[in-house]
């Protein structure tokens, strides 16, 4: 009656659950983006001039970050390496702890790369390096070698962390080893980052040198442990550990128990041919779930239950329903004689409107 009006009217679609994945991705991306914006803002405010509290605070923040963000990046990435190594362990770590270690690994990597972005940004803003030094190695004016090491490490970490975030994509492809090959270069990038951290900037205190040295040693130890002790793999069974069949023992055992007997149900040859169990199970099998008084293994057959039946291909067509067009079975419901009066279906619906204008509630 109102086709135009109806067409313009949209049917509301309600009750859909909100997709959470996009929100999560935005939240994660916000961390490195903020870590870039924050120092830029601080430097901007501080360099705008003025003598207010805000300017002083911004200057303090910028100086603090310039001094420490590289340290934070190195500590976070070192911890991420350790957590990642821990997450692969199968000996001391339970699956739950491995999940926790992996979550920690990701969080620390995110913090590390954010701090790294912050570090590069502030070094550039402080004019201690040029923008190109952040990405192309060995271009720095001074301290070229150790600055270059840091640049290489930074580039590698960026590639490793971006591919790590896209790890899910690699599971579908045919080359999942690409991901692992990229990820394993961490063990090259990380020492470079440590060298850069200790030698490119201010002189580190001795305990810092010792700490990083200890970290390197521990990770090297853990890697050696992992690759030498564990890399045999859970699947690769040691052939020497496999039970060798002892022909003499087997022969003796076979002679004791006699030749293999077909199980009782296998003797019912026609049964399996019938397609589906019209014939029923042989005597002695439980037919209806649990017996009264509970289930007693071996209570039904004198020799206990038979072993698992061998898998055997059925002859074609034996176990299948009739294919092709539907075959109606003959009618099964036959009402008892003399029962027809009980089923009075009532008069048919009055067809003409006059028939029900005289009665009813309206």
Partner 1 sequence: MAAIPPVIRIGQARVTSGLDRHSRLDLAAHRAEFGDLPVVSGPDLIRFAAEVDLRGRGGAAFPVARKLRAVVAATRLGKRHPVVVVNAAEGEPGSAKDKVLLTRSPHIVLDGALIAARALNARQIVIAVAGDGAHLQSVSDAVASDSTISRMTRVVSVPDRFVSGESGALVNALNGKPALPPGTKILSSDSGVKGLPTLLSNAETYAQLAILAMLGPAGYASAGLEREPGTVLLTIGGSVARPAVAEVPTGIPLGHVLDICGAQMPSGVLVGGYHGMWLGADAAYRVPVSRAGLAAAGGTLGAGVVLVLEAGSCPLGEVSRVASYLAMQSSGQCGPCKLGLPSVARSLAAIASGAGGIDELEAIRRAAFGVRGRGACAHPDGTANFVVSALDAFSDDVSEHMFRGRCGREVHDVLPLPRDRSSREESQTRLKVDWTRCSGHGLCARLVPELIQLDEHGYPDLLDVSVPFWLTRDATQAVEMCPALALSIAKEPVSRPDLAQPDGARSIPAGPGPASLGPARRPAHPQLVAHPAQQPKGKRDRTTSDLETTPEWIAAIGGRELTDRS
Query: Does residue 289 touch partner 1 according to CB under 8 A?
Result: yes
Q: Which residue has the tokens 């040691």?
A: 238
Q: Binding to partner 1 (CB under 8 A): which residues in 91-130? A: 95-96, 98-99, 102
Q: Binder to partner 1 among 50, 280, 291, 304 (CB under 8 A)?
A: 280
Asked if 211 contacts 161 with a C-beta cutoff of 8 angstroms, the reply is no
Q: Binding to partner 1 (CB under 8 A): which residues in 306-325? A: 306, 308-309, 311, 314, 318-325
Q: Binder to partner 1 among 87, 156, 160, 192 (CB under 8 A)?
A: 87
For residues 289 and 309, give the distance between their C-alpha atoms in angstroms, rounded to a whole number: 20
For residues 108 and 103, give the distance between their C-alpha atoms in angstroms, rounded to a whole number: 9
- Residue closer to partner 1 by CB (options 5, 202) is 5
Q: Between 23 and 62, how does the x/- string for binding to partner 1 read (CB under 8 A)?
A: ----------------------------------------
**Minimum CB–partner distance for residue 345 and partner 1 (Å):** 3
Write out the two tokens for 356: 């029900």
Q: Binding to partner 1 (CB under 8 A): which residues in 137-156? A: none
Residue 215: name the closest of 80, 82, 74, 68 by CA: 82
Stretch of 152-160, 239-247, 252-260, 329-337 contacting partner 1, by CB under 8 A: 329-337
Alpha-carbon torsion (36, 37, 39, 43), positive or negative: positive
**Minimum CB–partner distance for residue 191 and partner 1 (Å):** 24
- Residue closer to partner 1 by CB (options 130, 167) is 167
Phi, psi for 304 (deg, rounded to 5): 80, -175
For residues 184 and 18, give the distance between their C-alpha atoms in angstroms, rounded to a whole number: 37
- Residue closer to partner 1 by CB (options 239, 347) is 347
Q: Binder to partner 1 among 332, 337, 338, 358 (CB under 8 A)?
A: 332
For residues 194 and 212, give the distance between their C-alpha atoms in angstroms, rounded to a whole number: 7
Query: Does residue 252 touch partner 1 according to CB under 8 A?
Result: no
Question: What separation in angstroms does the CA of 44 have from each of 21, 51, 127, 277?
Answer: 34, 14, 14, 84
**Minimum CB–partner distance for residue 247 and partner 1 (Å):** 28
Quick count: other Cβ atoms within 10 Å of Cβ 199?
16
Q: Binder to partner 1 among 179, 193, 212, 219 (CB under 8 A)?
A: 179
Stretch of 127-135, 185-193, 219-227, 345-353 contacting partner 1, by CB under 8 A: 345-353
Query: Does residue 285 touch partner 1 according to CB under 8 A?
Result: yes
Q: Which residue has the tokens 């077909």?
A: 262
**Minimum CB–partner distance for residue 14 and partner 1 (Å):** 5
Asked if 148 contacts 159 with a C-beta cutoff of 8 angstroms, the reply is no
Asked if 184 contacts 51 with a C-beta cutoff of 8 angstroms, the reply is no
Query: Does residue 5 touch partner 1 according to CB under 8 A?
Result: yes
């Amino acid at each position: 009656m109102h086709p135009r009006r109806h067409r313009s009217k949209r049917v509301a679609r309600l009750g859909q659950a909100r997709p959470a994945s996009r929100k999560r991705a935005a939240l994660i991306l916000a961390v490195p983006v903020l870590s870039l914006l924050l120092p830029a803002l601080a430097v901007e405010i501080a360099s705008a001039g003025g003598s207010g509290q805000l300017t002083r605070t911004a200057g303090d923040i910028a100086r603090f970050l310039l001094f420490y963000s590289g340290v934070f990046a190195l500590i976070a990435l070192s911890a991420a390496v350790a957590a990642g190594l821990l997450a692969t362990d199968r000996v001391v770590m339970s699956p739950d702890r491995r999940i926790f270690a992996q979550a920690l690994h990701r969080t620390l990597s995110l913090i590390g790369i954010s701090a790294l972005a912050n570090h590069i940004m502030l070094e550039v803003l402080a004019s201690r390096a040029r923008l190109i030094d952040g990405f192309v190695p060995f271009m720095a004016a001074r301290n070229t070698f150790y600055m270059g090491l840091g640049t290489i490490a930074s580039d590698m970490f960026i590639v490793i962390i971006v591919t790590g975030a896209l790890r899910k994509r690699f599971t579908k492809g045919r080359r999942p080893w690409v991901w692992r090959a990229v990820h394993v270069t961490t063990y090259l990038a990380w020492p470079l980052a440590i060298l850069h951290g200790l030698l490119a900037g201010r002189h580190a205190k001795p305990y810092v040198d010792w700490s990083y040295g200890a970290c390197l040693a521990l990770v090297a130890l853990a890697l050696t442990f992992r690759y030498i002790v564990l890399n045999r793999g859970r699947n690769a069974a040691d052939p020497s550990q496999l039970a060798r069949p002892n022909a003499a023992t087997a022969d003796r055992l076979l002679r004791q128990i006699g030749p293999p007997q077909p199980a009782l149900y296998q003797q019912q040859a026609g049964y399996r041919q019938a397609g589906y169990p019209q014939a029923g199970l042989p005597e002695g099998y439980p037919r209806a779930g649990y017996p009264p008084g509970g289930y007693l293994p071996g209570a039904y057959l004198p020799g206990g239950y038979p072993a698992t039946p061998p898998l055997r291909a059925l002859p074609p067509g034996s176990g299948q329903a009739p294919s092709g067009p539907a075959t109606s079975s003959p009618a099964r419901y036959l009402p008892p004689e003399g029962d027809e009066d009980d089923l009075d279906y009532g008069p048919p619906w009055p067809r003409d409107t006059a028939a029900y204008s005289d009665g009813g509630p309206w």
